[in-house]
Amino acid sequence: MSQMLQIAARLPRAARALAAGATLAVILSAAPALAASPTELWPCIQPRVASLGAGQMWAGPPVEGLNWRDDQAVSDLVPVLAARRTPLEQADTLIADFAKTAGPDKNQRLTLLFAGVFDQINTLRARILSGIERYAKHQIDLSQRIKDESLQLAKAKKAAASDEEKAKAGELEKQVLWDTRIYDTRAQAVTAVCESPVILEQRAFALARAIQNAMD
């Protein structure tokens, strides 16, 4: 795994971000939500925090067990606020607008809003954690395959006498180079995606602060 991190560190940030986008899509589509994964598969420099706690960022009323989806306006706004494509500045404005029209139960409805945002972000974050670990397991398996292929290649080159045997060794060498290229490309992308859980955590804190500021 240290090789993965060393490779990615040499990449320009833009290149890592581009690779991360494609890998994140694969991770989210392949990983079941909240699937348990062995922590020894964690490939990131960032510490693995299994789940966020509402109390870490929220000083308002308890949010456990709240049915935030029962409030249609809250249910509509939650995915917009939780989505990373929504700039935080825009999210602040949307929260302020919601608070203005929330009525006499404003604090209660803002609490529901945070409960929904927290739920959505925590669920997405858990999927990403699981996906990163599953992806790391594939990397470990691929690394072992490259090692085995390299040993076979060394033996094939040493034993190659005929043109046919040399050709077979050449094909095996191409396979090793191809698998190594795939490994390196995936390593670059996974390392960039390791930033995603931290970004989501920061977003949850920022939204919690904005929602609390809108309360009376």
Q: Report the candidate in 67, 108, 114 with the shortest Cα–Cα distance to residue 95.
A: 114
Residue 46, domain member (yes or no): no
Q: How far is CA 120 from CA 25, 45, 156, 164, in A?
A: 17, 25, 53, 58
Residue 49, domain member (yes or no): no
pLDDT tens series, the chain, 216 aa: 333 334 334 434 433 444 444 444 444 443 433 333 445 678 888 888 888 899 989 998 999 989 999 999 999 999 999 999 999 999 999 999 999 999 999 999 999 999 999 999 999 999 999 888 888 888 888 889 999 999 989 988 888 888 888 898 899 999 999 999 988 888 888 778 889 999 999 999 999 999 999 998
Residue 50, domain member (yes or no): no
The alpha carbon of 214 is separated from its chain's Cα centroid by a whole number of angstroms, namely 30
Residue 47, domain member (yes or no): no
* pTM above threshold 0.85: no
Residue 51, domain member (yes or no): no
Q: In the chain, how many domains are there? A: 1
Place of tokens 């939204």: 207
Residue 48, domain member (yes or no): no
Side-chain-side CA neighbours of residue 164 (13 Å):
0
Q: Is the dihedral of CA 109, 111, 113, 119 positive or negative?
A: negative
| Residue-wise pLDDT tens digits, 165-177 | 889 889 999 999 9
The whole domain housing 72 covers 2-41+56-213
What is the structure's pLDDT at 122?
94
Residue 186, domain member (yes or no): yes
Query: What are 131's two structure tokens?
Result: 């996906």
Cα–Cα–Cα angle for 3, 38, 130, nearest 5°?
85
